[in-house]
Amino acid sequence: MSLDKDQVQHIAMLARLRVADDEIADTVDKLSRIVDFVDQLSQADTVDVVPMAHPLDAAQRLRADVVTEPDERDEFQKNAPAVADGFYLVPKVIE
């Protein structure tokens, strides 16, 4: 096993993803297999190879800094789980 339970729990916390107790053994097993599999990349000779930034070597396009979108907050908030007065509601963050 290239990963252990603690490492997977740590990664899960970084990803803000709850892995249930009954999922953890299977997750450790499968993630380890994936990591072992991608480890074969280490054999490749990549000295002086420039990492790919874009498959067509295109550069990021810029646009004028002007407002192009109308305000559609009400429309967007129809999909929100909890809103009030145009705000998104979350559990209390500041004591």
Instruction: Give the integer Cα–Cα distance in Å for 87 and 94.
Output: 16
Instruction: Give the integer Cα–Cα distance in Å for 23 and 21.
Output: 5
Least distance to other proteins, CB of residue 49, Å: 4
Output 6 or 81, the one with its CB closest to other proteins: 81
Alpha-carbon torsion, ordered 48, 49, 52, 58, to 10 deg: 70
Least distance to other proteins, CB of residue 79, Å: 4
The kind and range of the H/E element at 89 are none
Could you say whether residue 12 binds other proteins (CB under 8 A)? Answer: yes
Which residues sit at the interface with other proteins, rule CB under 8 A? Answer: 3, 8, 11-20, 23, 26-27, 30-31, 33-35, 37-42, 44, 46, 49-56, 58, 60-61, 63, 72, 75-76, 78-82, 88, 90-93
